[in-house]
Structures are given as C-alpha cells and as structure tokens.
Structure 1
Amino acid sequence: MSGLLELRDLSVHYRTARGEVTAVRSVSLGLEAGQTLGLAGESGCGKSTVAMSVLRLLPRTARVEGGVLLDGEDVRGMSWGRLRAVRWAAASVVFQGAMHALNPVHRVGEQIAEPMRLHGVTGSVAELLDQVELPARAARAYPHELSGGQKQRVMIAMALACEPRLVIADEPTTALDVVVQAQVLAVLKRLVAERGIGLVMISHDLSVLASTCDRLVVMRHGQVVEEGPAREVITSPTHPHTQALAAAFPTVGDPASRQVTPSEVAPDGPVLLRAEGVRVSFGGTEAVAGVDLEVRAGEIVALVGQSGSGKTTLARTLLGLQEPTAGRVLFEGVELPRSTAGLRAYRRQVQLVLQDPTSALNPRHSVYEAVAEGLRIHRVEGDESARVAEALSQAELRPPELFFPSLPHELSGGQRQRVVIAGALALGPRLLVADEPVASLDASVRGEILALLLRLRRELDLAALVITHDLGLAWTIADRVAVMYRGELVEQGAVEQVLLSPRHDYTRTLLAAVPHDQRSTRPNWTSSP
C-alpha cells in the first residue's frame, strides 16, 4: 500500500552514555488522506518518537531503521533542501505545549505568517484564524493575552498555514479543560472532513482518540500491541495494556469507577475550612463573586470548572495567598490571620499541592532537601531525617532512604508528584489543597495518585479540596462537588446529585463536553440552549 503516510518496519535507537537504547521496535502503519489515526500509550512508549521521525525531527543521537514514506517518497533519503520544502508545506506538527511553542514577544499573527513567508505561500492570516474559529483581531494578540484553548487553535492555524496534506498533533488537548478540549477536537475533525487532510493524533487518553480518530494504534515499550478501528479498540480491547489504559479514565456515572464507598463519605464531620461571601476583584474584573464554600474534616471536595472560572483564585484566597476584596475565610471557626507569623502557622495546617511537580521542585535539590524544606521553614523540632522518611513512606516512596539523594530529573512523573505530596505531609496538615494533581500524569500513574489521596484520607483523616476541570476525577474520589462558573458557585452537593442529576445549565454543559467513553448514558446530561 502506498498512501499519504506509510511506516515500514520502523525502528529508532538512541545513543546514550550507557549504550544504545531502542525506543521504537519494528512499527508498521499507514494513513490515507482524509483519515485520522490515533497513537496511544504512556510516556516513554515511543509514540512521539514515531511521530517525530516522519519529518526527521529526532535528535542527532537517534539512529533510524526502516522506511518513512510521505506520498511514496522516503523521508530518510531526502536532502536538507527537500526536507525543508516538505516541512510545513507537505506535513506539519501541532506541538503539545502551545505556550512554550509560541514566541512570547511576537504577535500570533506574525507567527502564523512566518511559515507562509518562508515557503512563498500566499494566503490570509485572518482566513486561517477563521478556520480555527478565532476572530481576525486575535492576530494582534501576544500569546499571554490568549487562553489555553485559543493558543492551541493558533498552533493549529500555524500548522495549516502552508496547506499541508498531513498534520501530526502531539497531545493537543492535554492541558485543556473539557469544554475547550471538545471545541479543539471539533475543529480538528471538521478540518479533516472539509480539507481532506490526514491527521495523526497522539495522546495517552483513549477516549479523546476514540472521539476523533478512525483507527487507533496502542504502543507499549516501543512496540504496537493493538491496532484496529478506534471504537472497537476502546470498547473491546484485547491486550492487557489497552485494557488498563481504557480503565484509567473513569466513566462518570459508572459505579465501578467510583472509589468512594457510602461508608467513607464524610458529610457530618466538623467544618475545617469555610468561605463566607468571598469576593476577589482585580481592577474592574471580579474573579470571585461572593462564594460560600466549606470543607469538613476527612472530606474530599472537588472544585470544578473551566479555565478562567476563578477556581484557582479562590484556592489562593483560601490559602491566604490572596486577600479577599470582601467576605472572609475561617479555619476551625477562626478568621484567617493577617500577620506573617499567623499565616505561617495556618499554612502548616493547610498545605498546597501544585499541578506540575516538575516546576514545583527545585531541579538542584535532592528529594530529602525538597521534603525537609517545609520542616525548616516552620522550624519543626525533632528528628528531621525521621520526619522526612515518614512523609515519603506515607506518599508511598519506599524505602524512603533510597530516594533521599535523588534529584527530580531522576524520577518519573508519578514519583515527582509523590515527593510534592510528601513535602506537604511532612508538616502534618489537616487539609490539602490540590490544584489539578493528576493533569500532567500518565493514565496508570493518575490512578495511583488518586488512590493515594483516598488512602491518606482513610489513614490520616486528611481532608482535601481538589481543584480540577476533570469530572472523571471528581466522580472517582470526591464526596462533594462544587461547580464554579464566572466567579460564582452555580451548583454544589453530593457527587451523585451534581454529576448524575445536574440542575444548572453550566453543569450540564460540562458533562456534555466529556468524551463519550467517559460519560454516563443518562439522558439529563444534555446541555440546555
């Protein structure tokens, strides 16, 4: 078969200080124009290496075997001049981190126009923006002035600038909330249908691929372990790894995905943290508009909403990092102190777990130093080494002494997140505020971290306020859900009440945006006009 893209027995090896490492082993696949192919798998499985080999974007340390054919022409044999002509014009890439891929000092219109200018392509930036459902005025914006979804659409517009026949999208929706994710996926599907491009979509989320792609390829340890029609692969997976990936993203409404038993729900404990009429304004913009919220001892509350809904600003206010414009925050019935010493004592009781463990950890500090830092700041007396070891053990990094000298880059993503959690646990808090704690993690690791949070609740009576745009996470571990929209809490209550019988149109909109394979079949999930 000679189609738009054909990989013939592709293998990729990397030279390292410890010898040669094989990242991809004998992968063969094909794609026709107008088709979509999904590449699924966890970090390190080789899916991005496969995709980057199509345009010879691999580092110099890579050695490639086999054939990579674009329209029948082997990319491996192309001269540099021919390869430059093929990139952007014949095939292009939509990278995962739009904020990192876009130049922060150039307007986005200039960046979209650059490949057109380099390849002598005539066209209109405004028309490209219209294709990705952005107004023409967006061309004058700098990247930081756009939302995550808007930046991702700019990346898609750039990829389409020279009218390529093949587009490779590497995790294009990973950091986006469910509504924006659904919008971006709809844009990609429409472009495939209208322009007849071939699309290779890379993700660790099978439900995203199933809702977008015709065929699905699942990789593990550099090899293809399962391939077939996307719907068939996700609904009836045959390989154990595919089954594990499918199970890692829970179906909202499925009792099997719910890890909280009725006996574990803690609605009657004393109130630990309470927000009363909290408002936060920045200039003329009200980011938090009169919120009342409480978290009880031993309870897990999920605060859900789209990016920009105000949930992170509310969390910063609850932590005493942002002073409210109006209203008040109370911990165990006492209003948050204003003094530095008072806030330090409060934050020993209420600890923050950040979304991105890589940025949360100092790359030059060992695991021991990272966990011990809080103990030193708060001048906690006693055996520091024993406290660090206990916190690491509680975060399931065992034996803890083995991890003491490790640096962040020597750990997996899940291990780094556990180190961040251990740093919070070292101070013996009553409440964790976890901001998107699994958003950047692989499917299997995500499940491990959620199970850890539940175990900490059971064993330490530790409460948690989990900030997320992931309704599946809320369904899995939360006792109660609070839905935030434009700075207001529009709905809150028990998980089953809010997610199975939503009363507010915005909650229904969130549920309707969840990929079909993570969604209940209950009819009242349809969003109202």
Structure 2
Amino acid sequence: MSPILQLRDVSVTYSGAEPAVSGVSLNLDEGETLGLAGESGCGKTTVAMSVLRLLPRTARVDGEVLLDGEDVRGMRFGRLRAVRWASASVVFQGAMHALNPVRTIGHQIAEPMKLHGAADQDVEARVAELLEQVELPADRAGAYPHELSGGQKQRVMIAMALACRPRLIIADEPTTALDVVVQAQILALLNRLVAERGIALVMISHDLSVLSASCSRLAVMYRGELVEHGPTERVMSAPQHEHSRALADAFPTVGDPEFRLTGGDSGGEPLLAARGLSVEFRRRGGGAVRAVRDVDLEVGANEIVALVGQSGSGKTTLARTALGLQRPTGGSVSFAGAPLPTSGSGLRDYRRKVQLVLQDPTGALNPRHTVYEAVAEGLRIHGITDDEPGRVTAALEAAELRPAEDYLGRLPQELSGGQRQRVVIAGALVLEPEVLVADEPVASLDATVRGEILSLLLRLRVERGLATLVITHDLGLAWNIADRVAVMFRGEIVEQGPVDQVLLDPRHDYTRTLLAAVPATTRRAA
C-alpha cells in the first residue's frame, strides 16, 4: 500500500524571491502521526498548505506533492475541490478567526458536507455524530462561536475537518494559547481519532514538547530546509542538528534545576496587594457570577509572582481589578499600603506606577502607528512632555530593541512577534513603573523568542527593581522565572507559596491536575 502523503523534493518560492522551502521529502502512512516542528518563518506551514494548494497564487511549487499517489499540482480545480475535505482537510490555527462569527457551529460543520453534495437529512445526523466524536453536546449545534470557550472552538474546527471522512488531517498549531488542561484534552482527542479511524495526522507546532507527547515521528525544519527527521524518542533524546537541540531545550521541565532562571528571591515590602477581593458579574435575567472570590494576593518589591490557572479561572479579572479597570464587589486593593484611588486623576497617576503588558502584541499595537508613536502614547496620556524622544529611545533600549533608531519609524507589521512584544513592554517601561502586570507575555511566541522575553523580564527586575505579576496558564513559565506562584481555580486562590514548594510538592488536587496535564517529554542526555 502506497503512503497517503508523499512529498518528493518539494520547494516553494514566492514571486521569484529566495525559496521559502527547499527540497523537502516526507512520507506519511495510514494511522501515522508526524510532528512538523520549527520556528515562525521556517517554512513548516508553507509545506503543509502546499498539500491542498492553499498557498497564494504568487507561490511556485516544484517537486511532487502526492496525495494517495496523485500529484495535487496537476489537478484541475474540480478535482482539487473534490479532494479538499474529502481526502485531506486542515485544522487551521486560531479557531476564533477561522470560524464565522455570524453562523452557528452546526451550520459551519455542515458546510463541507453540503459542498460535497450530502443530503440535508444525512447532514443533520452527521453533525450530531461529529459533535459527539469531539466530545461536545449535540445541542451545541445551535451555538455561535462567541458562546464557546477556546477549547470548544478548537473542537468545532476538528469536527469540520472530520466531516467528509478524510484520510489525512493537517493540524496547524491546534493548541496554541490553550491552557494546559484543554491542550491535553485536544491532543488526546486527536490521538484517539487517529487510533480509532486510522487517520494520518500531520501536526505543526513550534512547541517540541507538544509534538513529542503526541506524534510518533518528528520532522524539524530550519530556514526552509528539513534538517532532521526520525522517531520522536530519538529526535528528543539524541538530536543531531543544533536547531533540534535548541528546540528541545527551549521548553522547560518543571522540577529540573537547569530550567530555573532565578534564585527564587523573596520579595520586599508588599507593593501591590489584594485583600479579601471579590468580583461579581450580573447575569441577564437575574443572578450573578462570582468571578473572583475572597482573594488574598501580594506582589512585593523586586519580586516576580506567577498567577496560574485555566482559562476562565478568574486570573484576568483579578488583574483588571488590581489595575483599577474593574470595580470589586468586596475586599480591597492597595498599592504601597495606600488604598486604590477612585478618582479619575488618582487612577491615572496610579496606572503610571502599575503598568499592563497585554497578551496579544498584534492587537495591542495600532497598525497605523509607528514604534515611536506606540511607545510615546503613554507619555502623552500622562502629560509628560520633557525629552519625549530621549525617553522613548531609552525605553526601547531597555526592552532590547537596539539600536532604537532602527525601530522608531517602523510599523507593527514590519516587526517579528518577539519585536512587537518588546515594543509593548517598552510602552510600559517608558513611564518608569514600579510594577508590571504581564498577561500571558510569551503565549504563541517561538521557543527562542520565549526565552529572550523571559530573560528580559528577569533583567528588568535586576536593573530596575521592577516587580512583576505574570498571569499565565504555562507552569513552565512559572518554573522559569517566578519567585512565588499562586494557583487560581474557579475564582479562588487554592494554593500559593514559593515556586519550589507549590510545583514540586503540590497540596491541592487542582494544582496536581495542572501539573499532570503538562506534556511529558523525553529529554536528551546532558
């Protein structure tokens, strides 16, 4: 039996430029799982999208892309349309953007089947069957994407990919930005579908720990080339290429001292403190949701505290309340021993001292504003007029965008993901705050860039005495840089203390659940 997918010396070039992909050859058989790893720009998504000719028209594909022995490059559009969804399908990255916000999920799951001529009565039953397969209730067919959690939306994407019973599924970063528990559920679901239905699965990710926990083979790409390929255990335990080694070492093992980047210093006097803090949201039609329940939390001077928990646990609501962006319904927030101001001018002065670093740098930056304007915005809001150019330059240099002159006139789309995150951090630093509140500061960043941003936060603590509250679902991040960790579950802090104590000897079942969901990897020998 021939492989489901064969790539023979595949190269991809855009508009006559340097090849984005050079000479890639891979095979995938029925029931096999292949992890395609590499950082942004390495060509992994380009390779995957070439399988169904989903690349832009400017792309030229050389070599052979064989799907069940037939070269997709030579297919007429009618044949290609028949192959898409039915022979091979894609689970696209970012379910929020891939799903239509004004169509129910049942309608969207049905769409591929209708395109392939399925009768209406068959479609309705199949939608219910697919929802069951991806472990969603059948009555969710009438829901809209905004009514679903991130993990549920990702399950809908998988249901769509399965709709026409394809033999090959390509999953592009299917767990990016999902918390560890939901990530583990999605990976288990994909592996179960492979085992039960004999589907061939290509999973694309920059996170080698995710791929190593779910794929039998790994292929590592670097600058458009396939630099390593083999059984997962061999690639993880004895990588041959230096880039494979860098990827394998980039994601930490909780409990391994090698990945602990800080000595776990104890904080000074409490700077930011919540006491008995509660936040309730009123429901339409009556009743209330308690998003935060009687929380006590401190961030001391010169301290990094990680607030960890799943999506919906109340972490971001707690942070917004600490910043004065959300009013508490009980308890209090204080800064340097003084209650949080309630007046507009008082809050503005307070927010100069306590700055927020948003999760999504792309969404946080105005696409029409240059880097200079983005960083200077805070100065202008606070009426700081003395030496604006000098302050902006110093903030960019502090965020390791050097020389600053090279970045001042650039727009966000001209920057990499890591550079955009540094611009957001510079926008906070320009006001010389005493506390940073960093909401998922490395979610979706590549392995090496992740390490660079974490090192930057540690350096800012050393050089500026900057205290940081890091909000994250990533326990590895907490192990990397935090002095203390607080675990949040259903609006409550269920456990907190020094990182070594909480992550190595957890007392609460929920903390153990989070730790158990972290992908287990086979590390290379030292």
Report the TM range for the smaller structure's normalisation. Answer: over 0.9
CA 256–235 in structure 1, closer or farther in 2 if over 3 Å, else same: same
Q: Please point out which of 377, 382, 389 is paired with 1:378.
A: 382
How far 1:381 moved relative to its partner? Answer: 3.9
Q: Secondary structure at the match of 1:292?
A: strand
AA of the residue aligned to 1:395: A
Contact 1:266 1:297 in 2 (8 A): no
Task: Give aligned-pair identity as a percent.
Answer: 73
After TM superposition, list the pairs within 5 Å mapping 1:218-229 onto structure 2.
Answer: 218-229=220-231
Structure 1 runs not aligned, ≥5 long: 520-529
How far 1:223 moved relative to its partner? Answer: 0.2
The equivalent residue for 1:6 is 6
TM-score by length of 1: 0.96
Contact 2:237 2:522 in 1 (8 A): no
2:142 & 2:495 partners in 1: Cα distance?
37
1:500 & 1:518 partners in 2: Cα distance?
19
AA of the residue aligned to 2:166: P
Contact 1:249 1:518 in 2 (8 A): no
2:213 & 2:65 partners in 1: Cα distance?
27
Q: Secondary structure at the match of 1:303?
A: strand
How far 1:230 moved relative to its partner? Answer: 1.1
After TM superposition, list the pairs within 5 Å mapping 1:237-386 onto structure 2.
Answer: 237-262=239-264, 265-267=265-267, 269-283=268-282, 284-386=288-390
AA of the residue aligned to 1:92: S
Q: Which moved more, 1:164-173 or 1:19-28?
A: 19-28
Q: Please point out which of 34, 50, 53 is paired with 2:50.
A: 53
Q: Which of structure 1's runs of 4+ aligned residues deviate more than 3 A?
A: none
How far 1:2 moved relative to its partner? Answer: 3.1
Contact 1:252 1:518 in 2 (8 A): no
Which whole-Å deviations, capped at 9, do the CAs of 1:75-104 have from their partners, x for residues lacking one? 011110000000000000000110111100
Contact 2:233 2:522 in 1 (8 A): no
Say if 2:420 is the partner of 1:421. Answer: no
The equivalent residue for 1:453 is 457
The equivalent residue for 1:70 is 67
AA of the residue aligned to 1:158: M
Contact 2:106 2:142 in 1 (8 A): yes
Q: Please point out which of 494, 497, 512 is paired with 2:516.
A: 512
Q: Please point out which of 91, 108, 113 is paired with 1:111.
A: 108
Contact 1:13 1:62 in 2 (8 A): yes
Which whole-Å deviations, capped at 9, do the CAs of 1:425-444 have from their partners, x for residues lacking one? 00000000000000021110
AA of the residue aligned to 2:5: L
The equivalent residue for 1:126 is 128
The equivalent residue for 2:156 is 154
How far 1:138 moved relative to its partner? Answer: 1.3
Which whole-Å deviations, capped at 9, do the CAs of 1:59-87 have from their partners, x for residues lacking one? 00100100000100110111100000000
Contact 1:5 1:30 in 2 (8 A): yes
Q: Secondary structure at the match of 1:372?
A: helix
The equivalent residue for 1:41 is 38
Q: Please point out which of 206, 214, 217 is paired with 1:215.
A: 217
2:233 & 2:408 partners in 1: Cα distance?
45
How far 1:140 moved relative to its partner? Answer: 1.2
How far 1:401 moved relative to its partner? Answer: 1.5
Contact 1:472 1:518 in 2 (8 A): no
Which whole-Å deviations, capped at 9, do the CAs of 1:359-384 have from their partners, x for residues lacking one? 11111111111111101111114211
Contact 1:277 1:290 in 2 (8 A): yes
1:278 & 1:254 partners in 2: Cα distance?
34
How many pairs were matched up?
Answer: 513
How far 1:231 moved relative to its partner? Answer: 1.8
How far 1:518 moved relative to its partner? Answer: 8.5
The equivalent residue for 1:523 is none
Contact 1:67 1:76 in 2 (8 A): yes
1:240 & 1:20 partners in 2: Cα distance?
26
Which whole-Å deviations, capped at 9, do the CAs of 1:88-137 have from their partners, x for residues lacking one? 00000000110111100111011101111111244521110110111111
AA of the residue aligned to 1:502: P
Contact 2:236 2:522 in 1 (8 A): no
Q: Secondary structure at the match of 1:482?
A: strand
2:132 & 2:199 partners in 1: Cα distance?
18
2:271 & 2:212 partners in 1: Cα distance?
42
Contact 2:302 2:466 in 1 (8 A): yes
The equivalent residue for 2:479 is 475
Contact 2:495 2:502 in 1 (8 A): yes
Contact 1:272 1:332 in 2 (8 A): yes
The equivalent residue for 1:527 is none
How far 1:46 moved relative to its partner? Answer: 0.2
